[in-house]
């Protein structure tokens, strides 16, 4: 990432075109790599690949390590002889080209994967995979979760709530086939992903992954480790939870509810769990974005009994000590939000590139760090992230004085960089902002596909702190990948020496 001018596109796997009701690791993923390669792009950024849980968020998963079986391509399983085409067609997984129906994925896709598993004859490669044991805890957790009708582990029969108990051991002996099924989903995902990654790298495209700082309470890791990794008692009851302090936008702050790490305990073995997690990510990705990076400096913890985040406090994280042996890893630090001297010191000490967001840039403040004229090289410049409103909608929502300031500021930046300012429509402004992003000194520019296409609020990926069928469900169709878009990317990429 350092000292190389390039650009990429943010496109969640779930949002790829597909006849299977959700994006997969199949033909359309390869088509997108071809599109990006043809347009001179060098980075494909995805969102976390973990299985989704309640609310369908990849940032609230039942496992920090496991892989989302919804992304397994069924057409490839047909080619492998594990499914019949008629079985896939009969499931009718795609009822809307623009939205993921997670209910159908849950009810139909898992059933199809079970049929494929019933026809799977294993083999040495699968035996070797099982021998490594990387996904055994996840598989046991999911088999138990299915056994208890998918409720949280805290609602299982008491004898099963403790990892490694006699009841759990007995369950494993009596349900080996059910556990093997969940191992199978991980094995197939890995096979399909490894082929896709090899193809991308051969085409000069690096895959950029994403992991959340926190993990969900209802997860295999909390069930297994409890107070060994997290601030909770021996019964795995949380004393404090994660959140975000009050600010100008949220008077009560944000109460996320995730368990917080017991950094003092984790320091005893040199933060081995976290380092192992990061190293494993680089088996899948060439670049890794770590969400909420500021939490490694200080984080906001809230008493578990509280109903809002107002009563929380700042607590110290591990700071740069966690990263001492992995400073050369290709990591991008999401350094947005409440940034203070501690975070700035952490960023300087680890040396990872941070992020600049063009959506925050044009407020009339000449010292605004997101303004492209204030960028330096060791950053990744975005128009927006998965949590932001699409750029076009932000522009269309501007009114009165706010719009005047925005346009005036935009025009000033265009003059600095010699960009032809087109401001007659929201779509024109989107293109102008993207051209400014490409002109930035930041080594890497990544544009979300919804902003490249100047889509509006309907294409928003996520509205933070809400649970909605509109979150994490937007999808693209084949017709979105136009020659006009490719030509634009080639033109702006060549003009800014990013291709």
What residues are labeled active site? 291, 334, 387
Which tokens sit at 268? 């005893």
Which tokens sit at 12? 């969640």
Q: What separation in angstroms does the CA of 291 have from each of 124, 214, 221, 320?
A: 37, 9, 18, 16
Pairwise CA distance, residues 33 & 39, whole Å: 10
Order of all β-strands in the sheet with 240-244? 254-259, 240-244, 298-303, 313-316
Pairwise CA distance, residues 160 & 180, whole Å: 19
Q: What separation in angstroms does the CA of 98 have from each of 39, 154, 452?
A: 24, 35, 17
Task: Name the nearest CA neighbour of 13 among 207, 283, 216, 289.
Answer: 207
Classify strands 444-448 and 43-45 as parallel, antiparallel or unpaired: unpaired
Pairwise CA distance, residues 232 & 29, whole Å: 41
The residues near 413 (Cβ < 8 Å, ≥ 6 apart) are 361, 362, 371, 372, 373, 419, 436
Task: Name the nearest CA neighbour of 282 among 220, 326, 319.
Answer: 326
Task: Name the nearest CA neighbour of 361 among 324, 283, 414, 282.
Answer: 414
Order of all β-strands in the sheet with 379-382? 331-333, 287-290, 206-211, 43-45, 6-10, 444-448, 379-382, 354-357
Check if the beta carbon of residue 56 is closer than 8 Å to that of residue 104: no
Backbone angles phi and psi of 113, in degrees to 5: -65, -35
Q: Helix, strand, coil % (nearest 5) of the chain?
A: 45, 10, 45
Q: Is the C-alpha dihedral spanning 133, 138, 140, 142 positive or negative?
A: negative
Check if the beta carbon of residue 93 is closer than 8 Å to that of residue 21: yes
The residues near 380 (Cβ < 8 Å, ≥ 6 apart) are 1, 332, 353, 354, 355, 356, 442, 443, 444, 445, 446
Which tokens sit at 24? 């997969």
Longest dimension (CA), the chain: 71
């Amino acid at each position: 990432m350092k000292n190389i001018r390039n650009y990429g596109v943010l496109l969640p796997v779930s949002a790829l075109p597909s006849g299977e009701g959700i994006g997969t690791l199949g033909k359309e993923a390869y088509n997108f790599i071809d599109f990006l390669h043809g347009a001179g792009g060098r980075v494909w950024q995805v969102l976390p690949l973990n299985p989704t849980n309640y609310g369908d968020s990849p940032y609230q998963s039942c496992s920090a390590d496991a892989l989302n079986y919804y992304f397994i391509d069924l057409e490839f399983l047909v080619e492998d002889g594990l499914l019949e085409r008629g079985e896939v067609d009969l499931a009718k997984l795609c009822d809307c080209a623009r939205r993921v129906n997670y209910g159908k994925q849950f009810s139909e896709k898992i059933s199809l994967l079970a049929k494929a598993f019933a026809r799977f004859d294993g083999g040495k490669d699968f035996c070797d995979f099982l021998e490594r044991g990387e996904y055994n805890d996840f598989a046991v957790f999911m088999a138990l979760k299915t056994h208890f009708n998918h409720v949280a582990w805290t609602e299982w029969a008491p004898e099963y709530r403790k990892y490694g108990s006699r009841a759990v051991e007995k369950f494993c002996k009596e349900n080996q086939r059910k556990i093997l099924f969940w191992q199978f989903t991980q094995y197939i995902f890995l096979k399909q992903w490894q082929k896709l990654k090899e193809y991308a790298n051969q085409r000069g495209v690096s895959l950029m992954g994403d992991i959340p700082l926190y993990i969900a309470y209802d997860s295999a890791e909390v069930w297994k480790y409890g107070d060994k990794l997290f601030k909770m008692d021996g019964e795995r009851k949380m004393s404090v939870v994660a959140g975000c302090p009050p600010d100008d936008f949220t008077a009560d702050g944000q109460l996320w509810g995730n368990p917080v790490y017991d950094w003092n305990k984790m320091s005893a073995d040199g933060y081995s769990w976290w380092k192992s997690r990061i190293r494993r990510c680089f088996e899948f990705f060439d670049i890794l974005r770590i969400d909420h990076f500021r939490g490694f400096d200080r984080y906001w913890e809230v008493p578990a009994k509280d109903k809002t985040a107002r009563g929380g406090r700042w607590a110290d994280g591990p700071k740069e000590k966690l990263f001492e042996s992995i400073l050369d890893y290709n990591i991008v630090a999401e350094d947005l939000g409440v940034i203070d001297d501690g975070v700035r010191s952490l960023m300087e000490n680890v040396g990872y590139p941070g992020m600049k967001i063009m959506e925050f840039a044009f407020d009339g403040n000449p010292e605004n760090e997101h303004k492209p004229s204030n960028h330096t090289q060791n950053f990744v410049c975005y128009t927006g992230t998965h949590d932001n409103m699409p750029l076009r909608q932000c522009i269309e929502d501007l009114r009165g004085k706010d719009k005047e300031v925005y346009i005036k500021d935009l025009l000033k930046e265009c003059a600095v960089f010699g960009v032809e300012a087109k401001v007659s429509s929201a779509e024109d402004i989107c293109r102008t902002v993207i051209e400014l992003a490409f002109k930035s000194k930041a080594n890497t520019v990544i544009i979300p596909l919804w902003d490249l296409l100047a889509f509006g609020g309907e294409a928003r990926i996520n509205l933070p702190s809400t649970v909605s069928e509109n979150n994490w469900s937007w999808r693209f169709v084949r017709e979105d990948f136009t020659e006009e878009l490719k030509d634009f990317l080639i033109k702006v990429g060549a003009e800014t020496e990013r291709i």
